[in-house]
Amino acid sequence: MTATVARAESAPTANTPARKRWSVAEIEALFALPFNDLLFRAQQVHREHFDANAIQRSTLLSIKTGGCSEDCGYCSQSSRYDTGLEKESLLPLNEVLENARAAKAKGASRFCMGAAWRGPKEKDLAPVLDMVREVKKLGLETCVTLGMLKEGQASQLKDAGLDYYNHNIDTSPEFYGQIITTHTLQDRLDTLDKVRDAGINVCCGGIVGLGETQKSRAALIAELANMSPPPESVPINNLVQVEGTPLDQAKPIDPFDFIRTIAAARITMPESYVRLSAGRQQMDDATQALCFMAGANSIFYGERLLTTDNPDADADDKLFARLGLKSI
Ligand code: SAM
Ligand code: DTB
Ligand code: SF4
């Protein structure tokens, strides 16, 4: 017998079409479906909205590494943990452009620049605005992830030509305080509002494998899916364990539960790009293939994430060829 999941539509108003609000229990019910039924449903939703064989590819570059004031328990870049990472200053523009050109030559469509800041100071933002302008001129989509934004900073980024701002809510409201204490989930939501108001596309997702429960994972997906509108891009990160961080020894997530999380993101956010993000280097090819089948249609492409390894571009090109996937 197949479990069914009830759907309740929110009432439409004159200006807003009906959008379903997902309860945590409904997403837990998705997780409880037989694996094949969940994947079948996710594939159906995926095919209604996307070419199921087309994957978007973004290349990451850490433009300012280490020394972050925040205490995110998974992060190699927090100054609170001894992870052996050297703190670096902001990369010069020419080095960023060299990396962006190489990413474009390899076939990435978007270039994402990440800085280990609680948020950018005014003096930090000006050079990043130049990076956005110049990367955009190369014909790449631009994305930055700089931490929390102050009033006015999002519109400066928009004016420079920024396409996406990445700012994850990371984990469920209930679990948040066990992973991060130096800022709150509400702080993150406030920045996301500023990004949205400035007319920048939102890239917002989370991280699993932190020792969270299935319910917590369901609550993370509900929080994302109930954003109005949901993020255009939803990165789902699988923890890359980093020695020296409090989560170095966290119990890894069962790969099937990771795939279920991707499927739930696809079903609840049918129009969003769902990115199979950190953790691919530690994943076998079959697990990745099932993530694509579950509705993931974006990856980080290139041998480095921010501070940890990712499969190199040639390995991904081979995997795409074996699976008949094309890049967009
Ligand atoms: N400081 C900015 C921020 O926190 O938004 C930008 C960089 S931060 C590294 C971006 C995201 O990377 C985090 O929100 C988290 O989801 C993910 N991340 C960080 N460390 C990770 C790890 N060890 N494994 C998997 N994902 C990780
Ligand atoms: C996101 O959700 N994942 C990326 C990107 N946005 C900035 C970062 C992953 C970081 C993985 C650990 C590291 O390399 O430091
Ligand atoms: Fe800093 Fe971002 Fe790492 Fe948190 S995830 S410690 S805010 S770099």
Report DSSP letters for 43-107, one per residue: HHHHHHHS-TTEEEEEEEEEEE-S-BS---TT-TTBTTS---PPP--PPPHHHHHHHHHHHHHHT
Active site residue 204: no
Q: How close is the Cα of 77 to the center of ligand 3, in Å?
A: 6
Cβ < 6 A, ligand 1 pocket: 74-75, 114, 116-117, 145, 147, 167-168, 170, 207, 237, 239-240, 242, 278, 306
Q: Is 36 exposed, middle or buried (0-12, 13-18, 19+ CB in 10 A)?
A: exposed
State if residue 66 touches ligand 2 by the CB under 6 angstroms criterion: no
Backbone angles phi, psi at 229, to 5 degrees: -80, 165
Backbone angles phi, psi at 128, to 5 degrees: -70, -35
Ligand 1: which of 75, 117, 149 to mutate, judged by most atoms within 8 Å of the beta carbon? 75
Q: How close is the Cα of 270 to the center of ligand 1, in Å?
A: 24
Which is the catalytic residue, given 41, 188, 196, 203? 203
Query: What global pTM score does this model have?
Result: 0.95
Active site residue 143: yes
Cα 327 to Cα 80: distance, rounded to the nearest angstrom: 39
Residues of the chain with pLDDT under 50: 1-11
Token pair, residue 164, equals 């996406």
Q: Which atom of ligand 1 is nearest to the CA of 235?
A: 16
What Cα–Cα distance (Å) separates residue 316 from each residue in 223, 294, 306? 31, 18, 18
Convert the pLDDT of each residue in 186-211 to its tens digit.
999 999 999 999 999 999 999 999 99
Q: Which atom of ligand 1 is nearest to the CA of 74?
A: 23
State if residue 147 touches ligand 2 by the CB under 6 angstroms criterion: no
- Nearest ligand for residue 298 CA: 2
Question: Are 113 and 96 a contacting pair, CB within 8 Å?
Answer: yes
State if residue 91 touches ligand 2 by the CB under 6 angstroms criterion: no
Ligand 1 atom 6: the closest Cα is on which residue? 145
Convert the pLDDT of each residue in 266-285 to its tens digit.
999 999 999 999 999 999 99
Token pair, residue 232, equals 């255009």
What Cα–Cα distance (Å) separates residue 198 from each residue in 83, 140, 163, 261, 273? 36, 20, 11, 30, 20
Active site residue 112: yes
Active site residue 203: yes
Ligand 3 atom 8: the closest Cα is on which residue? 116
Q: How close is the Cα of 297 to the center of ligand 3, in Å?
A: 25
Active site residue 68: yes
